[in-house]
Amino acid sequence: MTDTTSAPSAVRAAGAVAARITGTVRIVGTGLLGASIGHALRAKGVDVVLSDTSPAQQRLAIDYGAGRAPAEGDAPVLIVVAVPPDVTADVIQAELERFPEAVVTDVASVKLEPFRELSARGVDLRRYIGSHPLAGRERGGAISARADLFIGRPWVVCRDEETSAADLSLVEALALDVGAAPLEMTPEEHDRSVALTSHVPQVVASLLAGRLAEAEEGALRLAGQGVRDTTRIAASAPELWVQILGANAAPVVEILDALAADLREVSDALRAPDAPGARRAVAEAISHGNDGVERLPGKHGQNRRFESLVVMVDDTPGQLGRLFGELGELGVNVEDLRLEHSPGAQFGLAEISVDPAALHGAISGLTERGWRIAGNTND
């Protein structure tokens, strides 16, 4: 087993930027989020204690270096609860009672229900501040944890009128130490927001992917990047999402009902596509989607649109590295990248997003260097 006990001092010796948090951080729950927080804090030299109801999961996270085992006399200044939604309130209450000097936060994806449940129990919540990092991966568990999981991602912090400035600053320090961007919201604002941007997209992706389960093999061979993009998050754990959706049911239902009405309007138009107004209804639905995409923050939070070029890349080692290197030589910054493999072919398609001003130079420069641009007239 790897010895990780000296990792914090080793990181300090390597010249890591000092952490804002001073003192021990206790993390309860060593899945993807809990272990990733542990890795990120230890990279800053923070003393991290890991606790989990599963001894095997806890030992695995410790073996991977996300923190150490609890010890007699531990006095954490901050406790991070990273457990499934159906036990979040219970664990928050237990940690508040066990460590009366610590601030307790949680990273559950629903904020209002645990707050209401704890309030109904009469729990003193002055040292509790709900929070939620908007980060994750399709794979879970300590084995998938990464120290860079939260870099540049929003981290919602839910304060109330009883939250002290010192306690609030501690939770915000946690977000900043792991590389996230803290953002204050009320629990109600948070739950309405994630219903639209996370929970309903999960339902829609899962329902669409479910249509593929009974599709003919011939149809699946035609699958392109569009269906892969819209179903990517469908590979999620049903047990977890039953809990999340149940805990945030009201705002999710409201959005799903509105979406169902939109779908009905389009389907009615397509039942009689030559009827007066039918084409307009379809066009306006697509156009309204354009408006929504325009509002999504892009790279570095900018509301900017980029142009795309599609480059054919041979399926051999080093080709992507060469492509990026030559784009760099051309002075072209890659804003985004999507890869799509061509079924049965020994090449893939790299869709590269660039600043519109750089598009022509990128196409001409890559073409001169022998790259094939899909759809380019010079190809």
The pLDDT of residue 375: 52
Are the CB atoms for 61 and 43 separated by under 8 Å?
A: no
User: Using 50, 70 and 90 to split pLDDT, how confident is the model at 315?
Assistant: confident
Residue 319 has pLDDT above 60, yes or no: yes
User: Using 50, 70 and 90 to split pLDDT, how confident is the model at 303?
Assistant: low
Mean pLDDT to the nearest integer, 323-350: 82
Q: Is 15 left (phi over 0), alpha (psi -120 to 50) or beta?
A: left
Question: Would you state the structure tokens that stand for residue 18, as one six-digit string?
Answer: 């000092």
Distance in angstroms (rounded) separating the CA atoms of residues 242 and 231: 18
Residue written as token pair 């997209």? 201
The pLDDT of residue 110: 95
User: Using 50, 70 and 90 to split pLDDT, how confident is the model at 376?
Assistant: very low
The pLDDT of residue 342: 59
Does residue 270 or residue 139 have the better pLDDT? 270
Residue 374 has pLDDT above 70, yes or no: yes
Mean pLDDT to the nearest integer, 96-122: 96
The pLDDT of residue 344: 59
Average pLDDT of the chain, as a whole number: 89
Residue 317 has pLDDT above 80, yes or no: yes
Does residue 294 or residue 250 have the better pLDDT? 250
The pLDDT of residue 336: 81
Per residue in 55-66, pLDDT tens? 999 999 999 999
User: Using 50, 70 and 90 to split pLDDT, how confident is the model at 366?
Assistant: very high
Residue 6 has pLDDT above 70, yes or no: no
Mean pLDDT to the nearest integer, 318-331: 91
Are the CB atoms for 159 and 26 separated by under 8 Å?
A: no
User: Using 50, 70 and 90 to split pLDDT, how confident is the model at 139?
Assistant: confident
Mean pLDDT to the nearest integer, 246-265: 97
| H-assigned helices in the chain | 7-13, 32-42, 55-63, 85-98, 112-120, 165-177, 187-194, 200-212, 217-220, 225-231, 238-247, 249-271, 278-295, 319-329, 359-368
Whole-structure pTM value: 0.76
Choice among 192-206, 218-232, 343-357 with the minimum mean pLDDT: 343-357
Are the CB atoms for 365 and 325 separated by under 8 Å?
A: no
SS3 content of the chain, % helix, strand, coil (to 5): 50, 15, 35
Choice among 101-105, 123-127, 216-220 with the minimum mean pLDDT: 216-220
Does residue 91 or residue 303 have the better pLDDT? 91
The pLDDT of residue 142: 92
Choice among 36-40, 99-103, 308-312, 374-378 with the minimum mean pLDDT: 374-378
Mean pLDDT to the nearest integer, 282-292: 95
Choice among 54-63, 69-78, 309-318, 367-376 with the minimum mean pLDDT: 367-376
Residue 163 has pLDDT above 80, yes or no: yes
Per residue in 339-356, pLDDT tens? 877 565 677 888 898 888
Residue 169 has pLDDT above 80, yes or no: yes
Phi, psi at residue 340, to the nearest 5°?
Answer: -135, 125
Mean pLDDT to the nearest integer, 157-172: 91
Give every CB contact of residue 96 below 8 A, 6+ residues apart in sequence.
Answer: 104, 123, 124, 125, 127, 128
Cα-Cα-Cα-Cα torsion 246, 247, 250, 253, nearest 10 degrees, comes to -40
Residue 15 has pLDDT above 70, yes or no: no
Counting residues of the chain whose pLDDT is more than 90, the rounded percentage is: 70
* β pairing state of 128-133 and 336-341: unpaired
